[in-house]
Structure 1
């Protein structure tokens, strides 16, 4: 039975994350000191895993998150289909009262099933799925890569995990995530199904709390 194991991670912390600024796909921020420490903690915990390929989004915070693995000589590929959702006019802003209300209304609309509703000037969850499917098809088209590492973004991960597990996009907020969390997935090529084996695991970051 042919299978692929996917280690799916969210990028490390950026200053925008810390300050509550909306990034989306339009803000190409760097990891901050904590984000780099998170990336190193993940590397130290998982450098023994025989990753045959690394896939990242088109945003540099994902590259910086897996840079230590790339330096080992593991090949990597940039897939813009893995980019964060475009938050449109909200990007680069600290949510004030109006933005908070807008964001809350948007999330409630998606949760009620209106996942075709785009952000103002940005994307809808359903539009994100379309480009994600292209990226996942690329990843699955290499069955010889039995174990891969995929670095992407929070909201995009929530959307991805819904459709990979054949669940409605309206429940996306049930997939919790934090900076440098791990979801471990297994794909069965015969059954054409994904199984989540590990969800929102941050145990590799415990060393940071002890430091």
Structure 2
């Protein structure tokens, strides 16, 4: 457990992403053609990094991304329900353009500590998502593999990064981060964002 490397990536694009709609945990679209292409591109970035296993959110978009990568790299994919996207409550399925001017949206997007417990009606707070994601990743410290992939979602990953003091406003489809654990110390860096 002295050293682990996690390659954490956001799933490829879905039609909801293209349409500017919030998917959250309650909507489960598949990857579109661009999303499949992003997963293949991500595979080539990950190929030389020595990843031995992928843990994935159960939602189709993340699981499909993980399965494409796993199939091409000949490594197993295991579903972990705690890697699921955040629950955005009443805003799931809504168009960004319809909610971005609301006070609630501004509170959600604010990454300052005083807003970490904010939640949309019926949804999870950033703090709850952060705690869930960090517990899931921390549990993987006990696994035998030293290099692990994690296929998850924008808000889930960005909330996890808050645990390490990293405030990320955006995380594009197919973006990749490296999270390293070394003798009790965590460090994180962005590897690539090929979507722009």
TM-score by length of 1: 0.82
Aligned length: 194
Task: After TM superposition, give the deviation of residue 97 of structure 1 in Å.
Answer: 4.1
1:194 aligns with 2:189: no
| Structure 1 unmatched runs, 5+ | 207-211
Structure 1 residue runs of 4 or more that deviate by more than 6 Å after TM superposition:
none
1:111 aligns with 2:103: no
| Structure 2 unmatched runs, 5+ | none
CA RMSD for the aligned pairs?
A: 2.2
Deviation string 1:55-111 (CA, Å, 9 cap, x unpaired) is 111211111112233225412221111111110010111134455313124324x53
Q: Is the 8 A contact 1:182 1:200 kept in 2?
A: yes
Q: Is the 8 A contact 1:55 1:150 kept in 2?
A: yes
Aligned to 1:28: 28
Task: After TM superposition, give the deviation of residue 47 of structure 1 in Å.
Answer: 2.4
Aligned to 2:58: 58
Q: Is the 8 A contact 1:89 1:122 kept in 2?
A: yes
Secondary structure in structure 1 of the residue aligned to 2:173: coil
Distance in structure 2 (CA, Å) of the matches to 1:134 and 1:2: 17
Moved more, 47-56 or 2-11: 47-56
1:172 aligns with 2:173: no
